[in-house]
Structure 1
Amino acid sequence: MADSAGVGGTVSSVMQETRVFPPPAEFSRQARIGSLEDYRRLYDEAARDPEGFWHARGQLLPWMKPYTKVLDWQSPTVRWFVDGQTNASAACLDQQIAAGRGDKTAIVWVGEPTGERRTFTYRELHAEVCRFAAGLRALGIRPGDVVSIYMPMTPELVIAMLGCARIGAVHSVIFGGFSSEAIADRNHDAQAVAVITADGGWRRGAPLPLKKNVDAALQSASHPSTTVKHVVVLQRTGQPVEMVAGRDIWWHDLVAGQPADAPAEPMDSEAPLFILYTSGSTGKPKGIKHTTAGYILWAKTTAEWVFDLREDDLFWCTADCGWITGHSYVTYGPLAAGASILIYEGAPNAPHEGRFWEIIEQEKPTIFYTAPTAIRSFMKWGMQHIDGRDLSSLRLLGTVGEGINPEAWIWYHEVIGGKRCPIVDTWWQTETGGIMMSPLPGCTPTKPGSCTLPLPGVVPQIVDAAGEPVEQGEGGWLVMQQPWPGMLRGIWGDDERFVETYWSKVPGKYLAGDNARQDADGYYWIMGRIDDVLNVAGHRLSTIEIESALVSHPAVAEAAAVGRPHDVKGEAVAVFVTLGSGEPNEALKDVLRKHVRHQIGALAVPDDIHFTDSLPKTRSGKIMRRLLRDIAAGKETVGDTTTLEDYTVLAKLRGNEE
């Protein structure tokens, strides 16, 4: 986070959204939290007596040793459920079987190659996890050891995560699209003792060379993985791979003969459950550390609140488990809540651009949770893939990963939700462990583009660069004033960076790194990362608002706004635009400038408009504005680019500049 982002203290909000969508009456009647009065009662209870509030919910976890104290908070150090012992795998499996869900479907899995489908009941999943956990124990892996997981989105990825949790090993899931150097870097930083991988995985019709990448990572000169003693390989695609004697073992050989009931290791509440690496704007990725009891309780509780989980729901979160969304809302949250989850291995446009709607028609999920960048892609691909598909099983839609432009929200609501499904626009981070702000679908009137209100236990504030609260309606830094159970406990092996990044700018409060504003109804609007604010002629403008104005034009499918140095104004507005229709010419640039002027005002009119076929994105779908800033300024790209999905996009954009 750049210190210069604090200049001026507040961010101008220049775009107002006035459309309001109340929750459907039928939904509210059946919802867990069915009125704003119920929400306010819960929120006030959590604010008035946080220890009592979380004690009542903490009791619901499977405790092997009771905790002696709910909360010990010495900023930035926090301990939840002090001295207690539990196990995240037991919360997801054993507890569900004990509650009578043994024969309930836990996982429905669909492979990218059409026709592939597998299901697991909770009892079957428990048996597979126990066999895998016993296999890890047989390799000598012990509580506290770090195990890297680099796998395709198959049921075995979830089994590997839960198997590690069962024996107290700390898992570090690495997205299956990352390079060998990214694997090597994360293995080295975490001091991993084992890697769980597969021969390959399917992505857009082609097998990914997962095992080959792991082999290359373990031979890396820059990040030697001297601590890795074991590589477990799942046979997925059948492609030939090299197996190193004494180090590598096939998954099926590891679990052969292992018992279907392996005991869950009693783990201290604050024992690390997993590390998940997020890339910084510069320097090496940060290993975000999450611990056992607080995380699993937060993931479970927020899944129940935000998605209004019911016993008969089939929940489809489209995220990969290489990201926090996949941890919290594919694996831990829904399973700890006893839900059924749908997992799809492949890309949304493989083998065709209607694949998601085909899956919804066939599998009939009731909840669909995806990213705004995917929604914008669906819009761009066209209605021909959606028309005629039966999406009537859906009762709730969600968005995650970045702010959603109001026009994309409206399209999602009308086309995918049939105007009947509430939308939960969720704001949270890898660091927060779970959702922090979101509508509750049975009670919160929604405004397109707003994450609305904080969940019970979340106490946000918007401050200026001096840490002082801003006026209502003004933009500023988003901070959290109180601890919550799912919060990160540190950056793996780097306490100094943890304090500097999250706790030093506004002492005693967690700095989220986002700008936000609060409207007259108390609703929160995320205005982009602190680093993404533009300072134009002394006015600090939100990139998200400029992008939303552009996307509201019918010719624009997607847009990204960044700043570049300007001799007079300080910063000029540069935008990169992907078209859904129209010709990329000077006439359209003039039309778009007039449109932004009309939507926002002269201050936000772009100086530069670049048309492009696609935007540089992370593998989780976020636009990499940092790279666009470099291109707009004519600078060489520096910093971490391992999360970039398609390097050819960068090359094309560079080519357009020359």
Structure 2
Amino acid sequence: MPTDHPRIRTTEEYQYAYRRSVENPEQYWADVAEPFTWRRKWDNVLTADLVEGHNKWFEGAKLNITENCLDRHLSTRGNKLALIWEPNDPKTRQIRYTYRELHQEVCKFANVLHNNGVEKGDRVCLYMPMIPQLAIATLACARIGAVHSVIFAGFSANAIADRVNDAQATVVITADGLERGAKQIPVKRVVDEALEHCPSVRGVIVVEHLGWPVHMKDGRDVWYHDEVQEVEKTCPAEEMDAEDMLFILYTSGSTGKPKGVVHTTAGYMVWADYTFRNVFQVEENDVYWCSADIGWVTGHTYLLYGPLLSGATTLMFEGVPTYPSPGRYWEVIDKHGVNVFYTSPTAIRSLMAHDINHVLAYSLDSLRVLGSVGEPINEEAWHWYHTHIGKGRCPIVDTWWQTETGGIMISAMANITPSVPARAGLPLPGVQPVLLNQEGQEVEGNDVEGYLAIKAPWPGIIRTTYGDHERAKQTYFGVYPGYYFTGDGARREPDGLYRIQGRVDDVINVSGHRFGTAEIENAINQNNTVVESAVVGYPHDVKGQGIYAYVICRDGACDDEISRKHVEASIIETIVAEIGRIAKPDKIQFVEGLPKTRSGKIMRRILRKVAEGDTSNLGDTTTLLDPEIVEKIVEGRK
């Protein structure tokens, strides 16, 4: 990678870097940040406040992240491939952009945004397929200082409206339609439905992708291909302050309303580049592929910003791993000579279920590093991935991080630090993890477990939740003052490596996507036949966690099999409409009541155990308002 950005290459260098990052973080990160393109250098590297949640990096600095992603590479890498687009249908032509071509496309889209009234500080929502224009439009927002908020193109109209209204977005960028595997989704129509309830939106820019006919609202909607004919191929990058907002990305929490996680310009940039270079050890001529959608934070940091900041060649895939056959991922790897591949345990487990001949048909000789993201990868999947995809020669970086952390926090670094099945590994330099007991005291030593927290800020730390800093403070900094609380439980093994044990709050991790139980319960409770519901996660062979819903119906509404089927279908329809298909419960159990304390609190611990089928040790139920209800729920599950 760039010679002006040295990276860690040995275990000894890791140990030295980690020690420096803890002993003198300001000097360490000043050295890391030095080689970037700055309009003005910082006055202060770090202002830390893990009590109020006010953490600032590189204060006083002026820059634009796209100058660091694109402009600074033009003299040395102008003709190098920056972005390869692999379409959903293998018969469709792939598209490739050099750094010079991508720079030009971003400038043109930025000028289209300018012409449609988008100014510095405006919020722009993007609801699009995984096509090059999604990446280009995201960078175009950053180029002119607009705050981008990418919404995964699988969320419902109601979910879009919630996010658009919370961000008070003025412009939405979308496309005519989307193909994901064999599915076709009319994304423009979904956006139109959402915008009936979004008064802040004054403009919609539509990219023609599939040639589908769509309704265009006069005075609001414009076609990108018409607009781009009118603009120049250059666009000066807006000067941004280090702590200016770069993007808002909505993630579910333990309450019903999604929260807009805010990342700012300089700290996120430094963290994205640093973690990408050091974890994946990408070489100058490598092809790197992150299979995540840009609608998720993984796509932001490790498909788009991290690779481009480092001058890498990044591959963007429109489709799914099983279309048109379960060999599609491996076909793409051979076709493009992919050297570093980063995907989710869910994808790996789904492909494990198919005939191994779908793997054996491909050589996969180009692969050098494998990565996993979204949830802890189980040992069986780790070994399958290592043996059949990596041919026993590729290290697996099992990365732990969150939307709120901006980038990878705990992980093996390829061929540098230990890669062990079912362990995330060691913290990256700058990351100071601790395990806390329930009283908030640090648990010392190895072979211990507790609540995972971080005791010092890192450049990619969440700055706030958009429009509601108190929520950020209470969620991340208020639980254990002086620490960033991750919401995960973890174990520090005898060898000092960290093993992530999953969520300890009311959040379910489905295929690496987080859903608050309250968000799903709110949707279920909208059903007229439902009195109350409770949602928990349970182990799922493919998705990691599945969604298990306990539902109380009104008297007589669910007395027979036919009526229960009708209510179940109605519940699923509501969830799909309110949130999206990805939040659909895997199991719905109709119950007479829920296990509650005398103060009315639902005992989710009991419901989780029942959902998991672990009913031998439910603990003391005598303190419940109605202890007999537990026996009925257990019997109902059988």
Query: Do the two structures share a fold, i.e. TM-score over 0.5?
Result: yes
Instruction: Give the one of 20, 29, 34 matched to 1:59.
Output: 34
1:252 matched to which residue of 2? 225
Instruction: Give the one of 420, 441, 450 matched to 1:476.
Output: 450
1:474 CA displacement? 2.4
1-structure distance, mates of 2:491, 2:539? 25
1:623 matched to which residue of 2? 545
1:531 CA displacement? 2.9
Q: Deviations over 1:146-197 (max 9, x none)?
A: 0000011111101001000000000000001111111111000000000000
CA contact (8 A) 1:283 1:640 kept: no
Q: Matches of residues 125-274 of structure 1 in structure 2 within 5 Å?
A: 125-219=102-196, 224-274=197-247
TM-score by length of 2: 0.81
Asked if residue 85 in structure 1 is aligned to residue 7 in structure 2, the reply is no
1:657 CA displacement? 5.6
What amino acid sits opposite 2:193 in the alignment?
A
Q: Deviations over 1:450-471 (max 9, x none)?
A: 0110000000100011110125
2:586 matched to which residue of 1? 650
Count of aligned pairs:
544
Q: Residues 465 and 297 (structure 1 numbering): CA distance in 2 closer, same or farther, change over 3 Å?
A: same
SS at match of 2:448: coil
SS at match of 2:267: helix
1:235 CA displacement? 0.3
Between stretches 634-643 and 314-323, larger displacement belongs to: 634-643
Give the unaligned 5+ runs of structure 1. 1-30, 535-542, 545-572, 579-614
Larger RCO, structure (CA 8 Å, separation 6 or more):
1
Between stretches 440-449 and 288-297, larger displacement belongs to: 440-449
1:561 matched to which residue of 2? none
1-structure distance, mates of 2:361, 2:188? 40
Q: Matches of residues 61-460 of structure 1 in structure 2 within 5 Å?
A: 61-75=36-50, 76-98=53-75, 100-115=76-91, 116-219=93-196, 224-460=197-433
1:630 CA displacement? 3.8
Q: Residues 82 and 646 (structure 1 numbering): CA distance in 2 closer, same or farther, change over 3 Å?
A: closer
1-structure distance, mates of 2:537, 2:134? 41
Q: Deviations over 1:187-210 (max 9, x none)?
A: 000000000000011112333111
2-structure distance, mates of 1:489, 1:404? 29
Q: Residues 646 and 482 (structure 1 numbering): CA distance in 2 closer, same or farther, change over 3 Å?
A: closer
SS at match of 2:353: helix
1:631 CA displacement? 7.5
SS at match of 1:207: strand
2:598 matched to which residue of 1? none
Q: Residues 44 and 499 (structure 1 numbering): CA distance in 2 closer, same or farther, change over 3 Å?
A: same
SS at match of 1:381: coil
Q: Matches of residues 482-521 of structure 1 in structure 2 within 5 Å?
A: 482-521=456-495
Instruction: Give the one of 46, 55, 59 matched to 2:21.
Output: 46
1:649 CA displacement? 5.6
Q: Residues 266 and 179 (structure 1 numbering): CA distance in 2 closer, same or farther, change over 3 Å?
A: same
1:577 CA displacement? 5.7
1:34 CA displacement? 3.5
2-structure distance, mates of 1:447, 1:181? 42
What amino acid sits opposite 1:66 in the alignment?
K
What amino acid sits opposite 2:278 in the alignment?
W
SS at match of 1:197: strand
TM-score by length of 1: 0.79
1:653 CA displacement? 7.3
1:526 matched to which residue of 2? 500
Q: Over aligned residue pairs, what C-alpha RMSD do you find?
A: 2.7
CA contact (8 A) 1:65 1:84 kept: yes
CA contact (8 A) 1:207 1:237 kept: no
Q: Residues 265 and 362 (structure 1 numbering): CA distance in 2 closer, same or farther, change over 3 Å?
A: same
Q: Deviations over 1:62-85 (max 9, x none)?
A: 111221111112332111111111
Q: Residues 358 and 649 (structure 1 numbering): CA distance in 2 closer, same or farther, change over 3 Å?
A: farther
Q: Residues 654 and 296 (structure 1 numbering): CA distance in 2 closer, same or farther, change over 3 Å?
A: farther
1-structure distance, mates of 2:313, 2:481? 42
What amino acid sits opposite 1:530 in the alignment?
V
CA contact (8 A) 1:515 1:528 kept: yes
2-structure distance, mates of 1:259, 1:442? 45
Between stretches 468-477 and 317-326, larger displacement belongs to: 468-477
CA contact (8 A) 1:461 1:478 kept: yes
CA contact (8 A) 2:39 2:63 kept: yes
1:640 CA displacement? 8.1
Q: Deviations over 1:93-145 (max 9, x none)?
A: 001114x1110000111111123200000000000000110111111211110
SS at match of 1:325: helix
CA contact (8 A) 1:464 1:477 kept: yes
2:601 matched to which residue of 1? none
Q: Deviations over 1:305-344 (max 9, x none)?
A: 0010211111100000000000000000000000001111
2-structure distance, mates of 1:487, 1:652? 37
1-structure distance, mates of 2:239, 2:30? 20
1:261 CA displacement? 1.2
Q: Residues 530 and 574 (structure 1 numbering): CA distance in 2 closer, same or farther, change over 3 Å?
A: closer
SS at match of 1:74: coil
2-structure distance, mates of 1:240, 1:410? 47
1:277 CA displacement? 0.3
CA contact (8 A) 2:575 2:583 kept: no
2-structure distance, mates of 1:533, 1:285? 12
Between stretches 45-54 and 265-274, larger displacement belongs to: 45-54
What amino acid sits opposite 1:479 in the alignment?
A
1-structure distance, mates of 2:537, 2:127? 37
1:289 CA displacement? 0.2
2-structure distance, mates of 1:450, 1:97? 39
Q: Residues 418 and 262 (structure 1 numbering): CA distance in 2 closer, same or farther, change over 3 Å?
A: same
2-structure distance, mates of 1:264, 1:209? 33
SS at match of 2:438: coil
2-structure distance, mates of 1:126, 1:347? 28
